[in-house]
Structure 1
Amino acid sequence: MRSEMLVRGVLLGAVLLMPMQLSAGESVADAYESRTVTVTERGEPVEFRYRLLRPATIEPATTYPVVLFLHGAGERGNDNERQLQYFPTWMAEPSLRSRHPCFLVAPQCREERGWSGFDWQTMKAAALPEAPTTDAAAAIAALEAVLASEPAAARDRLYLTGLSMGGYGTWDLAARSPGTFAAILPICGGGDEASAARVAALPTWCFHGESDSVVPVGLSRSMIAAIKAAGGTPVYSELEGIGHDSWTPAYRNPAVLDWLFAQRRR
């Protein structure tokens, strides 16, 4: 697989290959279990809500991968449903649950908070702080809670992905715990280039729209360049003519998901 590509129509065409409905009468929220996790902020306990999609069927003596999904800024809140847009909705479709059975962890970031530190004016990622944001810590706590409660969760197949604000969060959490994840799929975000060496050995496929007017495409370009300079071999797909929504052609491409779910921690 080429390490860089400027994609014109291949990924967009793949979108049409996957249907967008659940079983009759079932909503996306119905497919996901509602859970909570508690973390500490300024010495006080804070309860966070998240959603969990379990494999439709869990076979004896079989383990299944776990995906941690970080949503974008538009899905922040406390209703524990808004974060189910896009990737979580698509992964709940019967066809994908059959093709890629997994545990999908979807935490919800609070309003006016973020998965990482970055400047909302320049959209540039900040230098990696010593500690993650409280909301990012809650996302990891949710992942750890799922691993502790689900014997069928495969510890060597933990995947991290996110879009926009969640793309920044993906880079941030991956740099903090590069040995935790088997692969990452950051979409239209940005990271701290100084942390690139930490993720150089981590299987990575990064997406960004060439015409993104919200998060500058240069942020992904520079992050990928920094990883390569550190000896990594990330895959980078810059989508020609695509704006901020590069997550639809990325997540709706069967080849991308096949790649992700084929990865195992070394």
Structure 2
Amino acid sequence: MKTLKSFVFVALCLLVSVTVYAGDKNSFLKKQFTTSNGYKLNYRVLYPENYCPDQQYPVILFLHGAGERGDDNEAQLFHGGDMFASHANRSKYPAIIIAPQCPKDISWSSYRKPEKDGEKRYYPSVTPITKPMAAVKELLDSYIAKGIVDTKRIYITGLSMGGMGTFDLVCRYPNLFATATPICGGANLQRLANFKGKTVFSIYHGADDSVVDVQFSRDAYKTLKEAGIDVRYKEYPGVDHNSWDNAFAEPDYLEWMFLHK
């Protein structure tokens, strides 16, 4: 009987592996999560190639930018989806990738856009968590509750609006994430100065960003460094807002995450 159970278990693992493997962003499964208060959040999830439900895996939470908001449950993978789903990365860095989609006309985190020339984007120091971000946290908690998450290896990354959301969620839950990788994002500096968590940061930004001022990342790096936080920063000369292309191409973009617990 024990041998039969082992055979069934192995067969189940292989079936799950074959089901989710395609090698590009189309291999992400389409899901919808309903929160405890009835809010519905679209998301995509990608399991490791050889996923087995009795094991625990790292989680990478990926937050897209403003341009990928909507309700199609596809646009959030426009940038980075193929990178996460490539056979090489899934083999070398087995993880559960969770990619939620933020609805239109709302953001992962609160900020005020410039209203006239010369003004800068403003990030408040105290603000309620947005509805989609609260749903993201509850979604993540639901995967943890399943017992399939290595809670010492939960990583968060995001670009543009998602980079801002990365800063925001880490500040709200300073003991949850092993690493945070905000790309062309920004945050309130007082929140970063008061950060007491053990999260390690890797920040990326294009020097010629015409959408989100590169100074936000420069200041975030300096503030975190002065606060004694483990942080690194890479800036790309001549690169505009699409610095995520450069970040995703870094040979240690994923490797760096997996070095930390």
Find out whether 1:90 has 2:73 as its counterpart: no
What is the RMSD of the two structures over their aligned residues, measured on CA atoms? Answer: 2.0
Aligned partners of 2:175 and 2:197 also within 8 Å: no
Partner amino acid, structure 2, of 1:191: A
Deviation of 1:118 (Å): 0.9
Q: Which secondary structure does the structure 2 equivalent of 1:45 belong to?
A: coil
Residues 59, 163 of structure 1: CA spacing in aligned structure 2 closer, same or farther, 3 A cutoff? same
In structure 1, the gaps of 5 or more residues are 1-24
Deviation of 1:135 (Å): 1.0
What TM-score comes out, normalization by structure 2 length?
0.84
Q: Which gives a bigger RCO, structure 1 or 2 (Cα 8 Å, sep 6+)? A: 1
Find out whether 1:225 has 2:218 as its counterpart: no
In structure 2, the gaps of 5 or more residues are 1-20
What TM-score comes out, normalization by structure 1 length?
0.83
Residues 214, 79 of structure 1: CA spacing in aligned structure 2 closer, same or farther, 3 A cutoff? same
Deviation of 1:29 (Å): 5.2
Find out whether 1:54 has 2:51 as its counterpart: no
Aligned with 2:111 (options 93, 110, 118)? 118
- Corresponding position of 1:7: none
Residues 115, 79 of structure 1: CA spacing in aligned structure 2 closer, same or farther, 3 A cutoff? same
Residues 240, 83 of structure 1: CA spacing in aligned structure 2 closer, same or farther, 3 A cutoff? same
**For 1:5-53, what per-residue CA distance to the aligned partner results, in whole angstroms no more than 9, with x for missing partners?**
xxxxxxxxxxxxxxxxxxxx9584541122222237xxx6321111110
Identity between Structure 1 and Structure 2 (%): 36
- Corresponding position of 2:141: 144
Paired residues, number: 236
- Corresponding position of 1:100: 93
Deviation of 1:59 (Å): 5.2
- Corresponding position of 2:178: 182
- Runs (4+) of structure 1 moved beyond 3 Å? 25-30, 59-62
Aligned partners of 2:206 and 2:242 also within 8 Å: yes
Aligned partners of 1:63 and 1:152 also within 8 Å: yes
Partner amino acid, structure 2, of 1:80: N
Distance 1:100 1:256 in 2: 11
